[in-house]
């Protein structure tokens, strides 16, 4: 990790104890001491006024059972002097708590400032990072992908050595590249399934009804349906005006649907970086062969993200907003509540779109880089497509040529390479022509042809 620059805030590792010792008491600890003093003075004034309040005839009956123990003892403002040891202990505990809190959350321990690097102690860190990639611990996965993305990025000698280590033995079945691709594609497919379910758990098997329920008469079934209908109407009558405030938040739905979005971003960054540099360092053509599966998973994930975004934006905001648009006269309180609902819903939509943009923008930029690399290396020419043996690669290139143009233009700047137009596929021989026909027919006809 010699080539990795120090992140922002790394100077606190060297000057942390000195700076925290001098600057913490001047900031938050001084505020804590001042707050305790003010709290003690306010408490003393309130307790001094309590005997006068208890003297009132009607108030005494209400407050005396709860405040009688405050009337005993010496004068309130003199009480801290007699209990100085307890006050000193509580002040010491508060100061140490605030100091530890500042050291943890203001130091270089944040995820965005300095991630954990746990492979520096090994001579060959790549297998260690790949074991973290395949770990079931999501935090371990994120740290492994993040460190791997830092190691393979750039043109330094260490970055080239890490990429060559990943490409070593790539023509064999059990290689580090195949292990990384399989683990990453499995992660992306699992997260896409979670997005398809919108974060909901996998539906369990439905219990079959008993024989008694099947043999019940229509009158018994009607009574059961009426009971359920009464429960629903009672719920609407009691909680109907408050459904807006007890509903699930929009950005919470996005968080449930994309729980591993940061890990997905790092995983896609690692694969796209390796595919971008594979043209110069990997001459076997294995990465070009696996490129189709990677691009297909990315395109499907991106399309599902955009579909989820459209689903969120198309939902009606609230009944209060509809009433405001209809122009009905309402009370000032109702209007203020309706405006508050609109503002809260606007914040929710903004947070939800930001979380979706974290993934969608990364996917669009990486897909554009791949398409630019393919065009730069003349991998989309008619001769290259004609000589390809796998029909899945042809289909993936066609998907990119049709869908990436629309998806990239929304966020990527105007200075982007032109997306090439694929020529019509013409099979070179009879075997390729037969494979092309089998690929484009229905599954039933495909079985008959095979």
- Residue 447 belongs to a domain: no
167-182 b/e with 16+ CB inside 10 Å = b? beebeeeebbbebbbe
- Residue 364 belongs to a domain: yes
Tokens of 290: 């696996």
176, 378, 420: which is closest to 282 by C-alpha?
A: 176
Q: Are residues 394 and 341 in the same domain?
A: yes
Burial class of residue 22 (count of CB atoms within 10 Å of its CB; 0-12, 13-18, 19+):
exposed
Q: Are residues 412 and 336 in the same domain?
A: yes
Provide Rg for the chain, Cα atoms. 33
- Compute φ and ψ for 110, nearest 5 degrees: -75, 150
Q: Are residues 79 and 125 in the same domain?
A: no
Q: Are residues 27 and 131 in the same domain?
A: no
Q: Are residues 93 and 153 in the same domain?
A: no
CA dist 8 and 211 (Å) reads: 68
- The answer to whether 376 touches 329, Cβ cutoff 8 Å, is no
CA dist 76 and 63 (Å) reads: 19
Of 105, 132, 155, which one is at a domain's C-terminal end? Answer: 105
- Residue 212 belongs to a domain: no
Q: Are residues 78 and 141 in the same domain?
A: no
Q: What is the DSSP string of 193-242?
A: HHHHTTTPPPPPPPPPPPHHHHT--HHHHHHHHHHHHHHHHHHHHHHGGG
The domain in which residue 375 lies consists of 306-424
Of 76, 105, 134, which one is at a domain's C-terminal end? Answer: 105
CA dihedral 387, 392, 398, 402 (to 10 degrees): -160
- Residue 412 belongs to a domain: yes
- Residue 440 belongs to a domain: no
Q: Are residues 84 and 156 in the same domain?
A: no
Res 284: pLDDT: 65
- Residue 83 belongs to a domain: yes
400, 386, 393: which is closest to 428 by C-alpha?
A: 386
Of 105, 137, 161, which one is at a domain's C-terminal end? Answer: 105
Q: Are residues 353 and 271 in the same domain?
A: no
Alpha carbon 70 to its chain's center: 51
Q: Are residues 101 and 122 in the same domain?
A: no
Q: Are residues 74 and 193 in the same domain?
A: no
User: Apex CA 404: angle with CA 402 and CA 405, to 5°?
Assistant: 75
For the chain, the domain total comes to 3
143, 154, 153, 155: which is closest to 119 by C-alpha?
A: 143
User: Apex CA 366: angle with CA 362 and CA 368, to 5°?
Assistant: 120
Res 56: pLDDT: 82
- Kindly give the interhelix angle for 261-281 and 332-376, rounded to the nearest 10 degrees: 10
Q: Are residues 419 and 320 in the same domain?
A: yes
**pLDDT in single tens digits along all 450 residues of the chain:** 444 433 333 333 333 444 444 444 556 667 777 877 787 778 777 777 777 788 787 888 888 877 777 776 666 666 667 777 877 787 788 778 777 776 665 544 444 444 456 667 777 788 888 888 888 888 888 888 988 888 888 888 888 888 888 887 766 667 888 889 899 999 999 999 999 988 888 776 655 555 555 556 677 777 777 778 777 777 666 666 666 666 778 888 888 889 889 999 999 999 988 888 777 766 666 777 788 888 888 888 988 898 888 888 876 454 444 544 444 445 566 666 667 777 777 788 888 888 888 888 888 888 888 877 776 665 544 444 444 434 444 455 555 555 545 444 444 444 444 434 434 444 444 444 444 343 344 445 444 544
SS3 8: coil
- Residue 228 belongs to a domain: no
Q: Are residues 319 and 177 in the same domain?
A: no
Res 267: pLDDT: 92
- Residue 325 belongs to a domain: yes
């Amino acid at each position: 990790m010699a080539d990795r620059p120090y992140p922002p805030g790394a100077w606190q590792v060297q000057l942390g104890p000195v700076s925290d010792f001098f600057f913490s008491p001047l900031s938050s600890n001084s505020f804590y001491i001042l707050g305790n003093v003010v709290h003690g003075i306010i408490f003393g004034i309130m307790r001094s006024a309590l005997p006068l309040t208890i003297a009132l005839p009607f108030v005494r009956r209400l407050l005396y059972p709860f405040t009688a123990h405050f009337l005993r003892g010496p004068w309130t403002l003199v009480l801290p002097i007699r209990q100085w040891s307890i006050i000193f202990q509580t002040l010491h505990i508060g100061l140490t708590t605030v100091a530890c809190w500042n050291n943890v959350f203001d130091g270089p321990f944040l995820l965005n400032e300095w991630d954990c690097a746990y492979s520096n102690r090994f001579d060959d860190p790549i297998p260690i990072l790949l074991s973290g990639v395949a770990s079931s611990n999501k935090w371990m996965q994120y740290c492994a992908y993040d460190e791997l993305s830092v190691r393979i990025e750039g043109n330094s000698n260490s970055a080239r050595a890490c990429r060559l280590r990943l490409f070593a033995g790539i023509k064999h079945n059990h290689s580090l590249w195949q292990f990384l691709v399989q683990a990453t594609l499995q992660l992306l497919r699992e997260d896409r399934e979670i997005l398809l379910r919108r974060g909901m758990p996998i539906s369990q098997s439905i219990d079959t009804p008993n024989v008694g329920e099947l043999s019940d008469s229509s009158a018994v079934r009607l009574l059961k349906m009426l009971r359920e209908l009464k429960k629903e109407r009672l719920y609407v009558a009691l909680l109907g005006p408050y459904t807006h405030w007890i509903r699930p938040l929009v950005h919470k739905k996005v968080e449930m649907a994309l729980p591993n979005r940061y890990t997905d971003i790092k995983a896609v960054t690692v694969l796209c970086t390796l595919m971008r540099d594979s043209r110069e360092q990997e001459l076997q053509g294995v990465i070009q062969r696996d490129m189709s599966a990677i691009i297909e998973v990315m395109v499907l994930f991106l399309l599902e993200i955009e579909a989820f975004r459209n689903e969120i934006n198309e939902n009606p905001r609230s009944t209060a907003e509809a009433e405001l648009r209809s122009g009905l006269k309402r009370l000032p309180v109702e209007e203020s509540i309706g405006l508050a609902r609109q503002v809260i819903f606007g914040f929710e939509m903004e947070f939800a779109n930001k979380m979706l943009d974290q993934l969608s923008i990364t996917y669009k930029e990486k897909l554009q880089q791949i398409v630019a690399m393919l065009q730069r290396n003349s991998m989309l020419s008619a001769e290259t497509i004609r000589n390809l043996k796998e029909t899945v690669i042809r289909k993936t290139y066609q998907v990119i040529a049709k869908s990436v143009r629309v998806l990239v233009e929304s966020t990527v700047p105007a200075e982007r390479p032109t997306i090439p137009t694929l020529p019509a596929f013409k099979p070179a021989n009879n075997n390729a022509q037969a494979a092309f026909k089998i690929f484009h027919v229905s599954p039933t006809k495909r079985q008959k042809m095979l």
